[in-house]
Amino acid sequence: MHRRIDPGAIFDRTGTVRRPPAWRVFRETFAHFTYFPPLPCHADVPPGCGHVVLAIPGFLRNDRTTRELRAYLDQCGYRSFGWGLGVNWGPTPQLVAGLRRRLAQLRELDGDRVSVIGVSLGGLFARDLAYDVPDDVRQVITIASPISLPTASTVEPMIRLSARFYRPAIDVARLAAPLPVPSCAIFTPDDGTVAWETCRSADPNCLNIEASGPHASIQRNPKVLRAVAMRLGAV
């Protein structure tokens, strides 16, 4: 029998990491359905020159939630792609294996390494890719991703329900370790889904960028989109 991932390794049970206050859940829901700002200007952003970018959605989300991010990067001259695996249920063996195949396809498409962006739980997938296949990944950018586990989250009950389908397809213990490729962690102190402190990296080689606004809509935040494009152009 394959050993399952222990949710105890993901969520803090000591009270050291504080869960976001309950009132922020309402703000998250409101932002998810109402916050759709126009894409920011890309005229002064370094040109993407056709570089391939892979965007991984958050927990219980699919590629529709990264449409604005990918549309903006395309305007900046990148070739951006969703992960093409449907809903992100978490690190099931099928999704982990499918993501590796997706990365290999995009690597062949460009003939060069791929930049990987992960939103929320998608950031853990992105970091896992970089550990396992660093020769295929140019850089990793995480957006509101709890990379410094254990964390605390208002969606913990849903993840615990889904965890029965997880296997140790990813190494949870290494997710906070320094990556073998350049990395950037974007976080928001307004986060109402995960403890924002755990979305920063202690790795001195990782650039931490503070943003504002709710977790649910951060991948549509114009300032975040510009930060992502500027970071892509700097590496």
Q: Which pLDDT value is given to residue 63?
A: 97
- Rounded mean pLDDT, 137-158: 91
Residue predicted with more confidence, 9 or 69: 69
Q: Which pLDDT value is given to residue 4?
A: 59
pLDDT tens figures, 91-115: 888 999 999 999 999 999 989 999 9
- Rounded mean pLDDT, 12-21: 87
Query: Within 13 Å, how many C-alpha atoms sit on residue 179's CB side?
Result: 32
Q: Which pLDDT value is given to residue 1?
A: 39
Q: Which pLDDT value is given to residue 131?
A: 94
pLDDT tens figures, 175-197: 889 999 999 999 999 999 999 99
Between CA 113 and CA 212 the distance in angstroms is 30
Residue 160: is its pLDDT beyond 70?
Answer: no
Highest CATH level, class, for 7-30+46-234: alpha beta
Place of tokens 């990556």: 179
Q: Which residues pair with 30 in a beta bridge?
A: none
Contact between residue 205 and residue 178 where contact means Cβ atoms under 8 Å apart: yes
Residue 156: is its pLDDT beyond 50?
Answer: yes
